[in-house]
């Protein structure tokens, strides 16, 4: 999923630097799912740092061009990827739309916000890939509305095997600027953690639903 190791390491460094990603192997977070986790990721924080968001939008755009050429539309997945998706669309001088988790219950009852024509080529932007279900739900909504979805490009992925399988089953190509493996590599190189803490971080990735520090 990661295409450029140097960019992956740099992206991980920047996300750690601004605490968009927090690693706490000794005092783990509890996710909404109930999982105990040494990592918490909120990539919306990147929007508050002009130089970092510039780096991210330029490399997301470069990856899109490399893989798909210039699409007709950029789509962001609500809500986390609306900001970064808009930045990429603006940088590429392309129309932008975003996809809600479900259709609104009132008004026009849209799930897709913005103008989308049938058979337009769309690349979807995500901020974070966990299981992939919400991301693929957005892809399905776009397809049902007649879009030609070329693929998805995301800032970061936990790299879970079941997420990889979900994208494979959906026949959607996923590319990320960075992922959990490169994050741990960066954290190790920077000397942020002791050896036993690095082992804790690695062990979570192997069995996240049953992990406990």
Q: What is the pLDDT of residues 167-203, one digit of tens each?
A: 999 999 999 999 999 999 999 999 989 999 999 999 9
Q: What is the pLDDT of residue 116?
A: 97
Q: What is the pLDDT of residue 104?
A: 67
Map tokens 């991980």 to a residue. 12
Which of 207, 156, 165 lies closest to 12, judged by CA?
A: 156
pTM, 2 dp: 0.94
Distance CA 59, CA 56 (A): 5
DSSP letter, residue 207: S
**Model confidence at 208, in pLDDT bands (50, 70, 90)?**
confident
In this prediction, residues 43-58 reach a mean pLDDT of 98
Backbone angles phi, psi at 107, to 5 degrees: 60, -130
Would the pLDDT of 107 be above 90? no
Distance CA 101, CA 79 (A): 9
Would the pLDDT of 106 be above 80? no
Distance CA 150, CA 146 (A): 12
**Model confidence at 108, in pLDDT bands (50, 70, 90)?**
low
Would the pLDDT of 83 be above 90? yes
pLDDT cut 70: percent of the chain above it: 97
> Is there a contact between 124 and 77 (Cβ–Cβ < 8 Å)?
yes
Distance CA 98, CA 125 (A): 9
Q: Is 138 buried (19+), middle (13-18) or exposed (0-12) by CB count in 10 A?
A: buried
In this prediction, residues 72-76 reach a mean pLDDT of 98
In this prediction, residues 7-35 reach a mean pLDDT of 94
Average pLDDT along the chain: 94
**Model confidence at 62, in pLDDT bands (50, 70, 90)?**
very high
Q: What is the pLDDT of residue 212?
A: 76
Q: What is the pLDDT of residue 32?
A: 82
Distance CA 97, CA 120 (A): 12
Cross-strand partners of 98: 76, 113
Q: Is 36 buried (19+), middle (13-18) or exposed (0-12) by CB count in 10 A?
A: middle
């Amino acid at each position: 999923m990661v295409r450029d190791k140097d960019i992956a390491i740099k992206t991980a460094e920047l996300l750690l630097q601004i605490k968009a990603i927090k690693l706490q192997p000794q005092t783990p977070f509890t996710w909404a799912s109930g999982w105990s986790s040494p990592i918490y990721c909120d990539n919306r924080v990147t929007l508050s740092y002009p130089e970092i968001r510039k780096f991210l939008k330029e490399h997301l755009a470069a990856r899109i061009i490399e893989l798909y050429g210039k699409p007709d539309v950029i789509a962001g997945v609500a809500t986390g990827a609306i900001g970064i998706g808009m930045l990429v669309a603006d940088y590429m001088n392309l129309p932008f739309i975003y996809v809600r988790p479900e259709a609104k219950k009132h008004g026009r009852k849209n799930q897709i916000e913005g103008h989308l024509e049938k058979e337009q080529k769309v690349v979807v932007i995500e901020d974070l890939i966990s299981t992939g279900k919400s991301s693929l739900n957005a892809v399905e909504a776009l397809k049902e509305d007649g879009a030609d979805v070329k693929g998805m490009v995301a800032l970061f992925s936990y790299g879970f095997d079941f997420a990889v399988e979900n994208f494979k089953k959906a026949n959607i190509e996923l590319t990320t600027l960075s992922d959990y493996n490169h994050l741990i590599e960066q954290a190790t190189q920077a000397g942020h953690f002791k050896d036993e803490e690095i082992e804790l971080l690695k062990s979570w990735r192997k069995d996240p639903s049953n992990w406990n520090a």
